[in-house]
Amino acid sequence: MQFRSTRVKASMANPITLPLHERILRKNKLKRATELVIFFLLLSLLIYRLRLLHAHGFVWLLAFFCESWFTFIWILIMNAKWNPIDNKTYPDRLRTRIHELPPVDLFVTTADPVLEPPIITVNTVLSLLALDYPANKLACYVSDDGASPVTFYSLVEALKFAKLWIPFCKKYNIQTRAPFQYFSSKEFETARDVSSKFHKDIIYVKEEYAQLCRKIETAEKNSTQFAFTKEFSAFSKVERRNHQSIVKVIWENKDNLADGVPHLVYVAREKQPNYPHHYKAGAMNVLVRVSGVMTNSPFMLNVDCDMFANNAQVVLHAMCLLLGSENEREIAYVQCPQHFYGGIKDDPFGASSLIVLQEYIVPGVGGIQGPFYGGTGCFHRRNVIYGLSPDDAKIQGKNYLSHGKQEEEAIRAKFGCSAQLVKSASQTLLGSHEKLNCPNDITRSLKIATQVADCSYESDTLWGTKIGWLYGSTAEDVLTGLQIHARGWRSAYLSPERSAFLGCAPFAGPAVMTQQKRWATGLLEILFCKNSPIIATIKANLKFRQCLSYLYINIWGLRSIPELCYVVLPAYCLLTNTYIFPKVSENAFWIPISLVVIYNLTTLSEYLHCGFSVKVWWNNQRMSRITATTAWLFGVLSVVLKLIGLSDTVFEITRKDQGDDGTNTNPGQFTFDDSPVFVPGTALVLLHVTALVLWTLGIQSPGQSALGAGLGEVICSLLVLLNFLPFLIGFFGKGSYGIPLSTICKSVASVGLFIHFCRRASTN
């Protein structure tokens, strides 16, 4: 089945011949011109620096290195933004072909019932089960890496509520299908003015949801209540990192009803200390195999446990792209943006920077080979995850498989020893599994599903190397997407008017740092692995400009080194009475001034265009400086230790609830813990305060030049303190709002050593 993107006038065309989607090129001549002006100013600053480099020694050489790096980063940004593409989809046209819609497997991943409370997972699952898509074409699989009986119990209870919630949503066309979000939304508030019948129904549904929440809350407080019940016997001897596979069919749509409740399956893969479990990538591969022997849908959607479906038609929108291209097989996956609900006023922790990146960088990459895979809110073709290339897809995957008698043995070596998985994988790769509905008897595959979830199943197979989600990085999502692009596939970006998915952004100091460190670590790991974008461009089918786009995110961690050096330089100049910026009397003085003004006005306009305030823009600029010199720096250190064999990187889960702990009464204020990640920021504040005080008192070392530190260095030092204001406030905070004494002591020691170095350098 193929739907051609034939462009004809609607008044003359049959609805079946109308395109399901259109690619629209944004007009961005003004932005291109502005970016070129910034690039010209960066080059001018480098030329100025290079001309006088011989007369100023090491400090100017270091500044030249940093500014060269910033120029390189700007080239990567320009490349990514140059050709932005928007995809407009027409789900109403797809509805005319409702009988042709393919089945979709829905994957939800959770790992820790404490950091990721079950009620959050439950809301995500409910939003997926209630999607505007035939229920007999959907199957939802929940991966619980914590093997928690509370999570399983929550899903069992959620199913009971789903039988009420799904008909209610579809009867009254409720748009927000995550209950917790709906009952706190304007949609719920305005619903009270509708018919009395609706009012009675909505009150009843709300009471049932409140009862569900109470049950889950009680279970969290007393998980031992499940110990002696038959349904939970599989959890009786479970240890978090040592337990057997648990696969349970919570609900089976046996009657194959299009308006019923989709299949719901719970999966806790086996874990043993002697087997690496590969974090989220390993969990995703288990879900692929379990679903492969149960429903084997040609398309798969994966979301994190906190990323609920906010647009009930999101699957229809995605199918418009996956089925509506000129060559149905050319798009490997469809990525939706990560948007967030709730949040804190003025976004003090910088979550909006991801929104702006998705508004400008991602559509630009969409104009090359397609957006990166973001790990959540993404629709995949199963055959692509199985390693199929575009050329093989054109001939229904026959080249991918061996021929003759050895065909079954060849695919068994790739996919493992399960005969049913081998059969379903063969059907997927050969394109012969285009069934209309999900099977309605998935319970019969339960034993096999449990076997393919065992930790030893992947031994001597291609899982994690050529098939499925790839191992080798804590950013398994980007690595997997890179491998797909390297095979020659394209991807598409789906950003409907109503956000497709909404998630929970971390809003506390430690949570933000944990997330940023994990991203920087995983992305940098990709740069140094055998699947790096550079190698993929040379040896595979990754386009050169797509390679540059990947490099932009892969080197996030490396940016910490020049950023940290550049932030330290003004303090060094104040301490040694030297300078790195042009004096007011020089014509070159206007180069950095113009650069700073134009760059900041450009970024400010982007935030304003996205609907954010000036204060949100400032908070995000400030947090980008903080994370670059703290979390990203430790991400680099983690990768260095891994490369030299001293330690391995660890996937750190980000807390998904409303703060770090119950004592955080002011979630908008920066919080700290005793993690070493806070030492660089604390040390920078101490260093610049000390430098400014000594410069003001005239106690700094004698300069090596007749021209000492000037206005530029003082302003930059003050700007550093302004950017690191949360750390300055942290010196006077109490509890989690204050910087721990151990962190302050480490920072004082490092600043003392630096000042000693400055004095020695100025006397030599």
Residue 454 has phi, psi (to 5 degrees) of -70, 150
Which amino acid is present at 64? Answer: F
CA dist., res. 388 & res. 403, Å (int): 16
Separation CA 715–CA 391 (nearest Å): 58
Q: How far is CA 107 from CA 6, 311, 379, 455, 696, in A?
A: 33, 17, 10, 19, 60
Burial of residue 647 (CB within 10 Å: 0-12, 13-18, 19+) is exposed
Q: Catalytic: 132? A: no
In one-letter notation, the amino acid at residue 435 is K
To 10 degrees, the CA torsion angle through 461, 463, 466, 467? 120
SS (H, E, C) 631-643: HHHHHHHHHHHHH
| Rama region for 325: left / alpha / beta (φ>0; ψ in -120 to 50; rest) | beta
Helix, coil or strand: residue 506: coil
User: Is there a contact between 393 and 385 (Cβ–Cβ < 8 Å)?
Assistant: no
b/e burial code for range 292-313 (CB count within 10 A of at least 16 → b) = bbbbbbbbbbbbbbbbbbbbbb
Distance CA 301, CA 107 (A): 6
**Residue 595: half-sphere exposure toward Cβ, Cα within 13 Å:** 19
Q: Are 142 and 125 in contact (CB under 8 A)?
A: yes
Alpha carbon distance 526, 546 (integer Å): 15
Structure tokens given for 442: 């998935």
How many CB atoms neighbour CB 435 within 10 A? Answer: 15
The active-site residue out of 144, 477, 657, 660 is 477
- Residue 86 · residue 363 · CB < 8 Å: yes
What number of residues does the chain have? 764
CA 207 to chain centre: 34
Please report which residue ranges of 709-740 form alpha helices under DSSP H.
711-723, 725-730
Binding residues for UDP-alpha-D-glucose are 116, 145
Which parts are annotated binding residues for Mn(2+)? 280, 304
Q: Which of 145, 306, 454, 660 is catalytic?
A: 145
What are the phi and psi torsion angles at 369 (to 5°)? -120, -5
Amino acid at the residue 188: F
Distance CA 324, CA 316 (A): 11
Active site residues: 145, 477
